[in-house]
Amino acid sequence: MLYCESCHAVFSDGRVCPLCHKRYIRDVRENDLCFFTEQPFLMASVVEDILKKERLNFVTRPVHGAGISAVTGAMLESIRFYTPYTEYAKACEFMETMFPDEEQEDCPEEQS
Ligand SMILES: [Zn+2]
């Protein structure tokens, strides 16, 4: 599997990252933090609780830079979830179980 050092996506092949279209690609290592989902601020705490109960190792980071959130406050912020590669498959499985009908959205283009 390949790993993007820019947005921490994991993917099987390609010359650029399918999420951020950058070329900071290398083979994934066991302790790499891998992006596995992005949730709206209000959903993020729900997802966090479930993942904690499942004893999954993960970290969260808010997505900054959305112009809207400057006006309306943090409520419209999104939270990105990352997990070590060793637990990445498990994390993806949980997300599919939690949101079986929802198509997993790609993370939006990086704002520069
Ligand atoms: Zn990327």
pLDDT digits (tens, 9 = 90+) for 90-111: 999 999 988 887 655 555 554 4
Report how far ligand 1's centroid is from the alpha carbon of 12 (Å).
13
Report how far ligand 1's centroid is from the alpha carbon of 98 (Å).
24
pLDDT digits 0-9 by tens, 68-77: 555 555 556 8
Position 112 pLDDT exceeds 50: no
Report how far ligand 1's centroid is from the alpha carbon of 83 (Å).
15
Round to whole Å and give the CA distance between 18 and 111: 15
Report how far ligand 1's centroid is from the alpha carbon of 74 (Å).
24
Report how far ligand 1's centroid is from the alpha carbon of 39 (Å).
18
pLDDT category, 52, cuts 50, 70, 90? very high
Give the mean model confidence (pLDDT) for residues 65-90. 76
| Cα distances (Å, whole numbers) of residue 11 to 15, 17, 36, 56, 81 | 11, 8, 11, 21, 16
Position 78 pLDDT exceeds 70: yes
